[in-house]
Amino acid sequence: MAGVGGSNDRRQGPPKRLVRWALAVVVVLAPCITVLFTPAAHGQVPMRSVQSGPPVLPVVSAQIVTAPSDEATGINPTAPVRVSVSHGVLNAVSLTNPEGKAVVGHFSSDKLSWTTTEPLGYAKTYTWSGTATGIDHLRRAITGSFQTVIPERLVSGRFNVADNATYGVAMPIALTFSSRVIDKAAVQKALSVHLSVPTEGSWAWLDDTTVHWRPRTYFAPDTRVSVTAKLYGIAMGNGSFGREDITSSFTIGRSYVLRGDTRSHRLAVYVNGIQVADYPASYGLDSDPGRATHSGTHVVMSKFPVYYMSNPKYHYKNVEARWAVRMSDNGEFIHAAPWSVVQQGRTNVSHGCINLSSANAHAVFDAVLTGDPVEITGSSRPLGSNDGDYYDWTIPWESWAAMSAVRNQN
């Protein structure tokens, strides 16, 4: 029976303490091997083994991505253009136009990407070249090409203000386009006005080719103004794109305001808010709508030492007027009228102009700047959109702001 009992002990497997000792030996002799056991009918048997230590990474070649993608078309010339690499670094990159001229660009500090730093041209095919090296130490070529958009027409813009010029406090900023603008919001988002004095103002579209910016109230004297229209690459609608960016910087001068009342037959001058002159004047004959001087805020547009005036309707031609200051596009001027000195200060006899004596007209001529306001009251005819380009101040502020294609514009 003792032999039988011994046979049963062997079938039950080795004692547990022997297993623990054997496992300890395995761990000591092979510290990098972990052996897992699972219970079995006849003792502990290995299930799997896992080797620890640093992982062995697969060898991967450089992965190159160009943007725009290869053979893409209709790309905006101002869109981001770059090439990037993963699992490697860029060695050399070139993007050339059809004439072989390289586009200017720069590498990122880690040489994982290269980006253009200048706009592309319209209707051109650009070709990539260069190499990248992967972590497998193998070089891969950078290839591919894409084509920029082909505009149906290019639209240019022109400002009414000149660089380094000085203008009056009522000067509107006018931007006129060579063709109709359909997407006014897209264009307006590309416009910006920066002022040295915080000033509330807004763009307003007067028609499909003209947008103006004016402040809510007159500019503060000595304000420095910079206006920019980043038109290049702007889609204006119906296949039209902006031809080029334009900018202008100018200064607002002192405050010089002319105020006239057609009923009192006077023209007063205010400099920086202080009245400095009060001239007798003769305005347009109010009983004739074709001769009345318009009420409203005019803006000085230009001035001429000598200007020849004609009006076929009233049968005069090439009448010489000296010290002529244009204040609208409907034929209204301030000018010397020695022939009406007797009526000046007493009655209105002109054909819409403000008649002054030669000495007084000369004084106004010497003092005014383009952009100075001429505020006229008392007439039966209001100044309006049919009277030229600078009727901006006849539009109430709320109505003006509503003419913006984009809300909350400066």
pLDDT value at residue 219: 98
pLDDT value at residue 22: 36
pTM, rounded to two decimals: 0.81
CA distances from 117 to 25, 98, 140, 164, 229 (A): 67, 19, 24, 29, 19
First to last CA, the chain: 108
Equal CATH topology for 153-253+397-402 and 256-379: no
Residue of 232, 186, 189 whose CA lies nearest to 78: 232
Side-chain-side CA neighbours of 133 within 13 Å: the count stands at: 4
pLDDT value at residue 51: 53
Annotation: CATH topology of 153-253+397-402: Immunoglobulin-like (2.60.40)
Pairwise CA distance, residues 121 & 150, whole Å? 10
Instruction: Tell me if 375 sits within 8 A of 170, measured CB to CB.
Output: no
Q: 246: burial class by Cβ within 10 Å (0-12, 13-18, 19+)?
A: middle
Pairwise CA distance, residues 105 & 314, whole Å? 66
User: Taking the domain 63-148, which CATH number applies?
Assistant: 2.60.40.3780
Question: What's the gap between Cα 303 and its chain centre?
Answer: 33
Could you report the per-residue pLDDT of 297-330, keeping only the tens digit for each?
999 999 999 999 988 888 888 999 999 999 998 8
For the annotated catalytic residues, the residue numbers are 335, 353
In order along the chain (410 residues), what is the average pLDDT of each group of 10 residues?
38 38 36 41 47 63 96 97 98 97 98 97 98 96 98 98 98 98 98 97 97 98 98 98 98 98 98 98 94 96 96 87 95 97 97 97 98 96 87 96 80
Where along the chain do its domains lie?
Answer: 2-51, 63-148, 153-253+397-402, 256-379
Annotation: CATH topology of 256-379: L,D-transpeptidase catalytic domain-like (2.40.440)
pLDDT value at residue 272: 97
Could you report the per-residue pLDDT of 136-164, keeping only the tens digit for each?
999 999 999 999 999 999 999 999 999 99
The residue assigned the tokens 């070139």 is 94
| Other beta carbons within 10 Å of 394 | 18
